[in-house]
A and B are shown apart, each in its own frame.
Chain A
Amino acid sequence: MAKGAGIVERSLVSDDQIMEFDNLVMDGIDISGRWNTMLKSRVHGERDWQAWDEVRQNLVGTSIDNCIQCGLCTAGCTVGHEVPEFNPRQFIYWVKIGRTEELKKNADVVWRCVGCYNCTHHCPKGVNTAEVIEVIGQWLRKTVPNRMDPAYHANHRSYRHRLQTGGRLSLPVLQAEFLRELGRQRELMGPEFKKVAIKMLRDGRAIKTLMIGRPRHWSKNRKVLSEMEG
């Protein structure tokens, strides 16, 4: 049987919190069998307020104060339905009680928010949950980048690079840059992409894409965007 298989809402408990014994005698009483699984106590000593500080200084971040941990955000979450570890209520809880270690352990989960705003829309207390989760993701990107999927970094970098240099997004160029960042540029020559590329060359959209141009005085404007990085 899988570790901790009998635990209700198993996805909320990480492996290292579970203790299992084949034979266990405590105070002379044999408690093997059904009672052999235990959770480590969740007393935590050191609190770390880095994530809290980061969220609180963001423009929308202060709305995190209103959270009452009701879980409506998580009940209606698009990603939570597909990825059981994705739990915005829990992410906010960890920020609020200073358990940044838990956040860091889930660094590769937090970024998977799709920004559908179901959580913000349904929050009874006015927390802008979607944007708070995004801010937590940005903090993790700065703090533990190595724990996050290369595809996340490639997406982040290519969007920002396109926005900063061009001021406008050319989607085919963005996609090519994303795949290049990951060393997956050969996929562009795959049958599906090739079909679309040939179609766009024929119907004139490829030219439109290349001629998208740049907003006026963009070199000045881009300074504001480039200051974001860092």
Chain B
Amino acid sequence: MATQTAYFPGCSLKTVDRAYDVSTRIIARDLGLNLVEVQDYACCGAGELKGEGLKSHFLPGRNLGHLLEQGQSEVMVSCNVCYHELSRTAYAWSQDPKTAQAINGMLESVGEPPVNRRPSVRNTLEYLVSVVGLESIGQKVKRPLSGLKVAPYYGCLYHRPGQMVSSIQIAGEDTEHPHFMHDLLSVLGATVVSHPAETTCCGGKNLLSDERLAGKLTGRILSQAKESGADVLSLMCPKCAGGLDALQFRAIQEAGEAARLPVMYYTQLIGIALGHSAEEVYVGDMESRALELIRRMIPSDQGTLIEK
């Protein structure tokens, strides 16, 4: 029987990062999840409004209100920024009745549905590991990623700050050294390459305004992953993808050729392992040379991955 859960893609996944959205949906279908999209979504605030106090909860609160109005109480989120923003507001709402009242006051003043209970905000990675389960994902692998050396990269907002009691903590994730993506990639048959930059920040918040700093930070992540022997960096946040993939040329400007590395969403890697083609999970959308890598690894659509 299919498990039903609400799903919040967010602005990036709806547009330039469709690869993350489509691959999430494809693997969800394969794994027996029935995703119900949150209707009439707004931006989550993208971390830009967090200095605005109460107002910073308006956009996430609006999304949570719509979720509840749709009769859902649990939402799966792929984007780390959206996951953080929605968790942050759900946490603030539950911490203090006065804050909860003020958030609802704002929502009701413009005719939006209120948040009348604390919804459960889940991260897709955590949902796959703790609800679907590594074992049943392993059983569905048709094309093991053997020989592919993958460096997991979590970014920041998946596991920080640890004070929010977010879903990953409830699921038993380590907020100091996260390992769910490591576990998942090993089940897919990939060689997981640990590296020192798994949770260092990519500078995404100031990607536009502080481009040299962002270039230095992304350059460090990419070069450390590559130095550790990775063929590909596996990520889970569209904001990180902005710096690590789309604007990888800036990382190369700062850190040199050592920072040139294919980058993919972990959901795309799952999709490939579950037997889908590179086209189905839009590997070609990545700016880095991910498609070349996958083509080299999978000689034909039906074939298994072979070692280089």
Contact = CB atoms under 8 A, between A and B. Distances in A.
Interface string B271-308: 00000000000001101000000000000000000000
B111 A220 contact: yes
Nearest to A178: B208
A106 interface: no
Main secondary structure of the interface of A (DSSP, over half): helix
Contacts of A111: 209
Nearest to A133: B51
Interface stretch (A37-45, A96-104, A165-173): A165-173
Interface in B177-225: 200-201, 203-206, 208-210, 213-214, 216-217
A82 B217 CA distance: 9
B43 A192 contact: no
Interface residues of B, number: 58
A169 B239 CA distance: 12
B51 to A, nearest CB: 4
Contacts of B161: 117, 120-121, 128, 130
A49 interface: no
Contact of B12 (A57, A120, A166, A169): A169
Nearest to A139: B51
Interface residues of A, number: 67
Nearest to A179: B208
Given A59-B92, A118-B201, A203-B285, A167 B42 contact: yes
A112 B110 contact: no
B67 interface: no
Given A223-B110, A224-B55, A228-B55, A114 B208 contact: no
Contacts of B58: 224-225
Contacts of A154: 208-209
B246 interface: yes
Interface string B1-27: 000000000011011101000000000
A49 to B, nearest CB: 18
B201 A212 contact: no
Most buried by A among B51, B111, B175, B204: B51
Contacts of A225: 55, 58-59
A115 interface: yes
A116 B160 contact: yes
Contacts of A149: 209
A116 to B, nearest CB: 4
A205 B282 CA distance: 11
A29 interface: no
Contacts of A116: 156, 160, 201
Interface in B128-186: 156-157, 160-163, 175
A17 interface: no
Contact of B15 (A61, A82, A170): A170
B249 A192 contact: yes
Contact of B246 (A61, A196, A217): A196
A60 B201 CA distance: 22
B112 interface: yes
Contacts of A156: 48
Contacts of B72: none
B15 A208 contact: yes
A121 B62 CA distance: 26
Interface string B235-265: 0000000100010010000000000000000
Interface string B105-122: 010011110000000000
A121 B111 contact: no
A130 B56 CA distance: 14
A151 B41 CA distance: 29
B200 A114 contact: no
B47 interface: yes
B168 to A, nearest CB: 13
A152 interface: yes
- The 6 A-B pairs at the shortest CB distance, nearest first, are namely A116-B201, A134-B51, A155-B209, A117-B160, A120-B161, A59-B53
10 contacts: A82-B217, A117-B161, A130-B50, A163-B43, A167-B43, A171-B11, A208-B15, A209-B15, A224-B106, A224-B110
Given A59-B56, A128-B163, A221-B62, 8 more contacts: A59-B54, A116-B156, A121-B163, A155-B208, A196-B246, A212-B14, A221-B42, A224-B109
